[in-house]
Amino acid sequence: MNKHYAISLKRSTALLIALAFFASLTAVNLASVFNNKVGAAQFESRSLTLSSSLDGNTTTGVANSATNGSDTSHLFQFNIPSTTSLQSARFEYCTTAIGTCTAPTGMSASGATFVTQTINGGAWSSAWTIGTNTANRVNITNTGSAPGANQTAVFTFENIKNPTSVGSFFVRITTYSDSFTTIVDEGTVSGSVTEGIDITARVAETLGFSTTAEMDGTHVPAEGGTCAPLTGSGAIQLGDPTDHTLSISTAYDAYSAFRLYTNSANGVLVQYQGDSLRKSATDIIDSIGGTAAASAVGSEQFGLAVAQTSNGQSGGAWDNLDATWPTNTAGALELGAEYDGGDGTITNAGTATFAYDSTAPNTPKTIAQSDTAYGGYITCASAAVRYLGNISPLTAAGTYRTTIVYSVVPTY
């Protein structure tokens, strides 16, 4: 036999053996792939909804809120096209839709928990449980009945940390007819991590405080939305309407008012300071004191209290006043207990009560305040202050005067 022919025959035989081995190996590999993806179909309708699209380093706001990317919920919805029994499903987070799956930077699904699992709006099998997850993979298993074909499945997971890099990511959804071996259906959804648009605006501290002793509709306008300030003189003549004198047999009263609004979140105090009615260093009409008391005709008394109905004004109610703090009403002004009894009669031992602490004339005393439990702000509160004057037979004749100064202390 020709030497060259023998060598050629040997080479041909070796090549045929190699090709046969490769064909056998390829057939085995294709059979393995075919067995794992038998009848696999694409989810025709599929989506991913994120509770927040901010990156996983953003922790502002509560979990599952739009401003918290570090603790989000991911809602998957997809149509089930196959009738093959559905026993498990995998949600794998990748940087690309196809090819090798690389986990998105910084994301974590290892602590993911179930929130809802529904089909066509009704309850699915309660046998669905979440498995052992990785940073970019969520596994769920169904030990109960499977859904039928052409139904919509909804799965919601919480406690997922979004990727920490801005950009798109993809979640490859795969369902199995067994425990993560034989593929039934598959499909990919996408999400995106974005930069939040940070908007900054400033709100200035506000305060409106005004007083008047002219108790009519012109100087005490309706509160309305603008909380129009009170206007007019602060002068009061306490006593008989004709000659403005006090009497040992009759109690007299007069009114002033204050109005307030503020956005002080930590509360506001309304305070007064001043002496009692005085003629000289030694001639003074005694103040009632810091404890509320009724009118005592024939005895020296000077006091004040807030009146909510008999306010000395023609046709006007007083809004946003609460009886005694703390009454926990948002936007209202609350009255101190010793100063909230200004309504009623001032005859001897009448129903109205008054107080006035003049022991330290230059030390402010709080007459009203806002409730910090409800934000501390005041929308618009108008208060009528009623003054009481009584004298005794021993009160020296003359002209008595005092100046009461009202002030507010807002805490922003």
Q: Which of 259, 354, 253, 235 is nearest to 310 (CA)?
A: 253
Please give the Cα distance from 263 to 269 (Å, whole number). 13
Q: What SS3 state is found at 364?
A: coil
- Least confident range from 81-95, 97-111, 302-316: namely 302-316
pLDDT digits (tens, 9 = 90+) for 38-60: 456 788 889 999 999 999 999 99
For residue 3, is it within any domain? no
From 193, 222, 252, the end of a domain falls on 193
Instruction: Read off the pLDDT of residues 123-179 as tens digits, 9 standing for 90 and up.
Output: 555 567 888 899 999 999 987 776 666 778 889 999 999 999 999 999 999 999 889
Tokens 């979990």 belong to residue: 63
Taking 70 as the threshold, does the pLDDT of residue 95 lie above it? yes
Three-state DSSP at 394 gives: coil
The band of 24, judged by pLDDT with boundaries at 50, 70 and 90, is: very low
φ and ψ at 20, to 5 degrees?
A: -65, -40
Same domain, residue pair 211 and 153: no
Q: Are residues 173 and 227 in the same domain?
A: no
Domain for residue 10, yes or no?
Answer: no
Question: Residue 267 — left, alpha, or beta (φ > 0 → left; ψ -120 to 50 → alpha)?
Answer: left
12 lies in some domain: no
Q: Is residue 81 part of a domain?
A: yes
Tens digits of residue pLDDT in 335-379: 999 999 999 999 999 999 999 999 999 999 999 999 888 889 999
Look at residues 159, 193, 227 and tell me which one is the last residue of a structural domain.
193
Q: What is the CATH number of the domain that holds 67?
A: 2.60.40.10
pLDDT tier for residue 36 given thresholds of 50, 70 and 90: low
341 found inside a domain: yes
Residues in the chain: 412
- Quickly count: other Cβ atoms within 10 Å of residue 75's Cβ: 15
| 92/138 Cα distance (integer angstroms) | 7
Distance, CA of 168 to CA of 162 (rounded, Å):
11
Would you say residue 209 has pLDDT above 50? yes
Q: What percent of the chain has pLDDT over 90?
A: 64
Count the domains in the chain.
Answer: 2
223 and 188 assigned to the same domain:
no
Phi first, then psi: what are they for 388, rounded to 5°?
A: -115, 135
Answer whether 210's CB lies under 8 Å from 193's CB: no
Whether the predicted pLDDT of 29 surpasses 70? no
Residues 89 and 189 in one domain: yes
Note whether residue 238 is domain-resident: yes
Q: What's this model's pTM, rounded to 2 decimal places?
A: 0.64
**How far out from the chain centre does Cα 63 lie?**
14
Please give the pLDDT value at position 329.
82
Predicted confidence (pLDDT) per residue in 335-345, tens digit = 999 999 999 99
Which of 373, 333, 354 is closest to 223 using CA atoms? Answer: 333
Please tell me whether residues 227 and 376 are part of one structural domain: yes
Boundary-marking domain end, from 166, 193, 220: 193
**DSSP-assigned letter for residue 320:** S
Same domain, yes or no: 167 and 309: no
Contacts 24+ apart (CB under 8 A), 358-366: 358/274, 358/275, 358/276, 358/287, 358/302, 359/290, 361/273, 361/274, 361/275, 362/273, 363/273, 364/271, 364/272, 364/273, 364/407, 364/409, 365/271, 365/272, 365/273, 365/290, 366/269, 366/270, 366/271, 366/336
The answer on 188 and 212 residing in a single domain is: no
In a domain, 19, yes or no: no
Same domain membership, residue 174 and residue 66: yes
pLDDT of residue 350: 97
Q: Averaged over 289-306, what is the pLDDT? A: 97
15: in domain = no
Look at residue 125 in the predicted model and tell me its pLDDT: 52
Mean pLDDT throughout 171-194? 94
For residue 222, name the pLDDT band (cuts at 50, 70, 90).
confident
Q: 213 and 188: one domain?
A: no
For residues 281-285, average pLDDT:
96
70-79, 189-198, 218-227: which range is least confident on average?
218-227
Residue 165 and residue 85 in one domain: yes
User: Does 241 lie in the same domain as 187?
Assistant: no
Min mean pLDDT across 106-115, 218-227, 229-238 is at 218-227
Least confident range from 15-24, 42-51, 271-280, 393-402: namely 15-24
183 with 237, same domain? Answer: no
Q: 61 Cβ partners below 8 Å, 6+ apart?
A: 67, 68
Burial class (CB in 10 A: 0-12, 13-18, 19+), 35: exposed
pLDDT band at 110 (very low <50, low <70, confident <90, very high): very high
pLDDT greater at residue 313 or residue 354: 354
What pLDDT is attached to residue 32?
37
Three-state SS string across 125-159, please?
Answer: CCCEEECCCECCEEEEEECCCCCCCCEEEEEEEEE
88 or 252, higher pLDDT: 252
Q: Provide the domain limits for residue 98.
A: 36-193
